[in-house]
A and B are shown apart, each in its own frame.
Chain A
């Protein structure tokens, strides 16, 4: 891969992160799909498993491109490690019938580790929160997810959603008030 190609790849990832740019994603999809499928056929020995690997890998690239940090390495490496993780879990599931998905703990991929652990450590609690979230209007939900689940700054979110920063702030305020109300009512 030439430096120009790898620069191009970074640009596409950033376009996906900031603008949900489908064209940029299509370009990445086209360059990686055959490679990932080939890798999946070799590792997982079945075409349907290879397709699952491809779909899951590309789905993460689409959803989590904002987590890619260009300073930490090449974009190819980022995508390769996502695929490696998924393939590891799939292979483990096939061999041991275990669905414990260990890969993201073994190879943390530019994920934001929540080390405080207090508020969300309880599985039931986070399920509950997910339910509350679902009750929010889509626009407010998006903002809460962006800021609290994907750890984007309000500025990044404004650019991504193509709305003014003030709108992000007011939606967030409305959403948090509503969530607070719900939590109080239910506790």
Chain B
């Protein structure tokens, strides 16, 4: 199944420049792990950003009479680096696996070092919070069991859903693994999943439940985002 929903160009560019918060950087990185197209775009962006970086007139931040002391500083640093004894480089950590539908599922590499809360369950929903400490930006792994749904809601800020496994549908479309779904306060949706799914979600504010009884279900909003 090919991926239909991708991060916008501006988001990819900010990602490559390291300007996004960790939560969104993880989301783009995890999307790229599944999407050759965006990964290649990011490689090209890094290439052009590096060229721009080399063009920068880097000394405009310094006073000219600092020049000498800066050179001394550089000499010292050079000596420190080249005389440092060699030490073993830490190995890249293996990816984290989680239990999904009774099987072991490998999480995106970007999540390898992130601290996660324990899984909490509410009906057909199960979620683990990512402890990224980014204020009002909240990130979660969210699993919805087969036949599960999230009540109709809209968002005060944005809500990003990256589908990692399974599929879900809402009023607009059906989504599959790798789809990167960005919604803002103008979008209302009611996701349902027939086969169950696992998502990585990032939201910058609690969403508002908009329909009848689900207004009462606002605790679910706090639960999943």
Q: Which residues of A come within 8 Å of B, CB atoms?
A: 1, 22, 25-26, 29-30, 33-35, 37-39, 41-42, 51, 54-55, 58-59, 62-64, 73-74, 76-77, 79-81, 84-85, 87-88, 91-92, 96-98, 100-108, 111-117, 120-121, 126, 130, 133, 142, 145, 149-150
Q: Are A62 and B88 in contact (CB under 8 A)?
A: no
Q: Are B77 and A81 in contact (CB under 8 A)?
A: no
Q: Are A41 and B86 in contact (CB under 8 A)?
A: no
Complex alpha-carbon distance, A182 and B51, angstroms: 50
B25 interface residue per 8 A CB criterion: yes
Q: Are B94 and A117 in contact (CB under 8 A)?
A: yes
Chain A: which residue is nearest B83 at the CB level? A22
Other A-B pairs beyond A51-B73, A105-B111, A150-B89, 14, CB < 8 Å? A1-B54, A38-B60, A42-B61, A58-B78, A74-B50, A84-B16, A96-B133, A100-B115, A102-B25, A102-B114, A105-B110, A108-B109, A121-B93, A142-B86
Residues of A near B94 (CB, < 8 A) are 114-117, 121
Residues of B near A87 (CB, < 8 A) are 18
Q: A53: shortest Cβ distance to chain B, in Å?
A: 11
Q: Which residues of B come within 8 Å of A, CB atoms?
A: 16-18, 22, 25-26, 29, 43, 46-47, 49-51, 53-54, 56-61, 70, 73-74, 77-78, 80-82, 84, 86-95, 109-115, 132-134
Residues of B near A116 (CB, < 8 A) are 94
Q: What 8 A-B pairs come out closest when comparing CB atoms?
A: A117-B94, A38-B58, A80-B50, A96-B133, A88-B18, A77-B50, A34-B58, A84-B18
Chain B: which residue is nearest A25 at the CB level? B82
Complex alpha-carbon distance, A108 and B61, angstroms: 31
Q: B55: shortest Cβ distance to chain A, in Å?
A: 9
Complex alpha-carbon distance, A104 and B59, angstroms: 29
SS of B interface (majority): helix
Residues of B near A41 (CB, < 8 A) are 61
Q: Are B111 and A29 in contact (CB under 8 A)?
A: no
Known: A51-B77, A59-B84. A100 touches B89 (CB 8 A): no
Q: Are B82 and A22 in contact (CB under 8 A)?
A: yes
* 21 A-B pairs (CB sep. < 8 Å): A30-B74, A33-B77, A35-B56, A35-B58, A38-B58, A54-B77, A62-B81, A76-B50, A76-B51, A84-B16, A88-B25, A96-B132, A100-B113, A102-B113, A105-B93, A105-B109, A113-B109, A115-B95, A117-B95, A142-B86, A145-B86
Complex alpha-carbon distance, A120 and B92, angstroms: 10
Partner of A59, one of B17, B50, B81: B81
Known: A35-B56, A37-B58. A73 touches B43 (CB 8 A): yes
Q: Are B18 and A149 in contact (CB under 8 A)?
A: no
Chain B: which residue is nearest A38 at the CB level? B58
Q: A126: shortest Cβ distance to chain B, in Å?
A: 7
Partner of A80, one of B49, B92, B110, B133: B49
- Residue of B22, B43, B56 most packed against chain A (CB within 10 A): B22
